[in-house]
Amino acid sequence: MQGNEKNIFAKLNLLIEQNIDKSGYTIEDICLELGISRSQLFRLIKEQTNLSPSRFIRLKRLSKGKQLLEDTSLRIVEITSLTGFDSQQTFSKYFTEEFGVSPSDYRKNRETITEDTLPALIEPIELPENPAPNMPKAIPVLSGRKYMYGAIGIGLGVLVIGLLLSIKSMPFTNIGQMNAKSIAILPIASEDSTETLTMADGLTEQVRLALTSYESLKVISKNSSELFKNTTKSTSQIADELHVEYILDGTVKKIENGVRISLELVKASEDQTIWAKQYEGKTDNTIDFINKITNEVREEVHKRLRGTSATGTNVMPTKNLEAYQEYLKGKQLMLLRTKDKLEAAIERFDRAIALDPNFADAFAYKASAYHILGNSSFINMEQSIRLSEQNALAALQLDAENGLAYAALANGYRQQSKWEQAITTYQIALKYSPNDAQIIYWYSISLRSIGELDKAIEYSTKALSLDPLYPTILFGHIGNCSYAGKFKEAEESIKEGQALFSNYYMYYYVRAFYQLNLNNYEEALKDFQRASELSPHTRLVETYIAFCQGRLGQTAKVKAYLASLPPTLENYNLLAVVYAGLKDKEQCFRYLQLAAAQGRLPEYFKVSPLFKILHGDKRFDQLLEKFGLLDFKIPV
């Protein structure tokens, strides 16, 4: 390093130390005080530390934070302020990423570590003479005994992380390969105030929607990204679990007369910040401010991920802030999918519509909520179809390119076995929302219904890659693989479900169908019974238990269940399943034909293992033909 550069680097370190408590102190401020350009600063820091300027500054802040944890009794929130981090969450996140333990755990455990105990805890590691290509050429060294504690934390942290990842990252081998053009938008953190929470939630939502318009960019869905809200996991851990290359993170902080938004785009494989920016604005023009930032983020991502082409628009769906707040609350409630939460979501959407009668997305999500209520047997199916269709059409009158509204219509067609209309309408939905994991998933299970099992797996695989931690999509993918006889792939996803969702009744439900496709009726019965324990009085599960009991010769139990099912329209398909379990083809066909006369067939009838006994009988083909399923061709 030349003499002048030494002086600049020394002055740089002094500037950072003098301003370390100022969260608003930026790279631009440093360049101005040093009298050099951003590119000169980047080159200087890179040559000396092999770090980007933002990472170098962050490391200085974290080192100061670690020193304060060791030498003072200050609260972590006070240390956060003294080190210039905009929130305790941000400080904890980066501290854990850098040192392998959270700030609170580090402070708690540091007293037990002494110089005498070091050799027993960790052995020296010799670096190879010719390091691997991805190994950094230079590693920043922190001197002094106190920094040894950090090394121990890193070593133990890496060991624990390695063990966890060996378990949790094992599945999805068929879908989890890293895509170079892939990104997760983490929930933007904020202080607990109405202004900052609305700004954070709205910006997170709009940036995600804007980036999904790039057809070749994989954008992780809200369901999975939301699981990392308030997480202490490192950026690299999150990227590994979501199988993405880039992470967009940020914070919203209240300042005098407005808010400050800090955003950071990180390339996870290199742990490098490739873009960062702060925005300041007032809360009286929240919607315009969010639109401005969203468009800029969209352009920045486009610059760095060339070869992407965008569809659709990227402005907020309403100009009424209060309506938008109700809409966001409704969407959040929908994630839980219980009856009371879905009904509460509909109330929120109604409030949004009352505030802005032209709010198309509020109508579309209301339509989707009614579909889920009916599909979960929380309300009558006819009522579900009618209300969903009513709201979907209202959305399309306001926005003829609303993908979710088309998908809601398609769901109604699917529930009525109108397959040509359903498939065509899903295709329209995907034209306008090509990266919506929920729509892709719905399309995949419709493809299963018409017998296009390989295509069903193709689409559920894509849905799962966009939303890898959402149980409904995982369960649908297991079903697609099981029905298609892809048992190895199904087993891999079942293992993932065991690790993540073993307290969900649907996990045992789909695992039971996996067993049914293998003719393992005893194992299927155990899984259905476990599903029933987790969700008592679910009629379909009770019926499938009776089916398995029939196949296992437990006739008395089956007859007792049959006595509880009056021969009404709602029960025709259930009775057909039970008689299929008893291998009574005549009675099975009798109830199927009664249901078909009312325009109904059991779900996935064409490929269901429940009705294998009927295959080869001309009456089975006649039923398929009646519903257009015998030789159905996907519309092009």
Each residue of 22-45: pLDDT tens digit?
Answer: 877 777 778 777 877 766 777 778
Burial 27-45 (b: 16+ CB within 10 A, else e): beebbeebebeeeebbebb
Number of H helices, E strands in the chain: 30, 6
Phi (first) and psi of residue 274, to 5 degrees: -100, -10
218-219 and 179-185 beta bridge pairing? parallel
Same domain, 212 and 288: yes
3-class SS of residue 489: helix
Q: Where are the alpha helices (DSSP H) in 305-436?
A: 321-334, 339-355, 360-375, 381-398, 403-415, 419-432
Nearest to 294 by CA among 283, 282, 284, 302: 302
Same domain, 146 and 201: no
Written as six digits, the tokens of 393 are 């059409």
The rounded distance, in Å, linking the Cα atoms of 30 and 15 is: 7
The DSSP 8-state label assigned to residue 127 in this structure reads P
The mean pLDDT of 623-632, rounded to a whole number, is 92
Instruction: State the chain's mean pLDDT as an integer.
Output: 82
**The domain boundary residue, chosen from 284, 311, 338:** 311
Describe the crossing of helices 505-517 and 521-534 by its angle, rounded to 10 degrees: 170
Total domains in the fold of the chain: 2
Tens-digit pLDDT profile for residues 106-159: 887 764 433 333 233 223 323 333 333 333 333 233 333 233 333 333 332 332
Are 175 and 461 in contact, with CB atoms under 8 Å apart?
A: yes
Are 549 and 581 in contact, with CB atoms under 8 Å apart?
A: yes
The residue type found at 41 is L
- Asked whether residue 313 carries a pLDDT value surpassing 60, the answer given is no
Answer whether residue 416 is part of any domain. Answer: no
The rounded distance, in Å, linking the Cα atoms of 37 and 19 is: 19
Tell me the whole-structure pTM to 2 decimals: 0.67
Describe the crossing of helices 321-334 and 360-375 by its angle, rounded to 10 degrees: 20
Are 468 and 223 in contact, with CB atoms under 8 Å apart?
A: no
Burial 571-589 (b: 16+ CB within 10 A, else e): bbbbbbbbbbbbeebeebb
Tens-digit pLDDT profile for residues 329-349: 898 888 777 888 899 999 999
Same domain, 223 and 101: no
Task: Read off the CATH number of the domain in which 56 is found.
Answer: 1.10.10.60
Helix/strand/coil percent split, the chain, to 5: 65, 5, 30
The mean pLDDT of 290-295, rounded to a whole number, is 89
Nearest to 237 by CA among 96, 123, 359: 96
Answer whether residue 24 is part of any domain. Answer: yes
Which residues does residue 123 pair with via DSSP β-bridges, in sequence order?
A: none
Same domain, 38 and 141: yes
Nearest to 389 by CA among 198, 33, 74, 374: 374
241 vs 167, 169, 172, 234, 245, CA distance in Å?
11, 7, 10, 11, 11
272-281 and 258-267 beta bridge pairing? antiparallel
Same domain, 199 and 61: no
Same domain, 156 and 38: yes
pLDDT of amino acid 91: 83
Answer whether residue 37 is part of any domain. Answer: yes
Answer whether residue 405 is part of any domain. Answer: no
433 vs 13, 428, 455, 496, CA distance in Å?
48, 9, 18, 28
99 vs 150, 264, 511, 527, CA distance in Å?
6, 20, 40, 43
The rounded distance, in Å, linking the Cα atoms of 612 and 605 is: 10
The rounded distance, in Å, linking the Cα atoms of 269 and 273 is: 11
pLDDT of amino acid 523: 97
User: What percent of the chain is modeled with pLDDT above 90?
Assistant: 41
Q: Model confidence at 307, in pLDDT bands (50, 70, 90)?
A: low
The mean pLDDT of 551-573, rounded to a whole number, is 94
Q: Model confidence at 581, in pLDDT bands (50, 70, 90)?
A: very high
Answer whether residue 106 is part of any domain. Answer: yes
Answer whether residue 462 is part of any domain. Answer: no
Q: Model confidence at 99, in pLDDT bands (50, 70, 90)?
A: confident
The rounded distance, in Å, linking the Cα atoms of 334 and 272 is: 35
The rounded distance, in Å, linking the Cα atoms of 429 and 90 is: 38
Same domain, 265 and 230: yes
Q: What is the largest CA-CA distance in the chain?
A: 95
Task: Read off the CATH number of the domain in which 262 is found.
Answer: 3.40.50.10070
Please tell me which residue, 144 or 458, carries the higher pLDDT value. Answer: 458
179-185 and 244-255 beta bridge pairing? parallel
Same domain, 196 and 149: no
Please tell me which residue, 136 or 571, carries the higher pLDDT value. Answer: 571
The rounded distance, in Å, linking the Cα atoms of 607 and 589 is: 16
Same domain, 153 and 223: no
**The domain boundary residue, chosen from 261, 286, 311:** 311
Q: Domain residues for 96?
A: 3-122+136-168
Q: Is 306 exposed, middle or buried (0-12, 13-18, 19+ CB in 10 A)?
A: exposed
Same domain, 145 and 217: no
| Range scoring the smallest mean pLDDT among 102-106, 213-217, 339-343, 399-403 | 213-217
- Asked whether residue 176 carries a pLDDT value surpassing 90, the answer given is no
Q: Which of 41-45, 95-99, 160-164, 394-398 has the highest mean pLDDT?
A: 394-398
Answer whether residue 363 is part of any domain. Answer: no
Are 532 and 538 in contact, with CB atoms under 8 Å apart?
A: yes
Same domain, 146 and 48: yes
The residue type found at 619 is R
Which residues does residue 252 pair with via DSSP β-bridges, in sequence order?
A: 190, 261
294 vs 18, 26, 195, 263, 331, CA distance in Å?
33, 21, 18, 11, 20
**CA-based torsion, 439, 440, 442, 443: positive or negative:** positive
Written as six digits, the tokens of 124 are 């020296």
**The domain boundary residue, chosen from 292, 311, 330:** 311
Same domain, 110 and 208: no
Answer whether residue 82 is part of any domain. Answer: yes
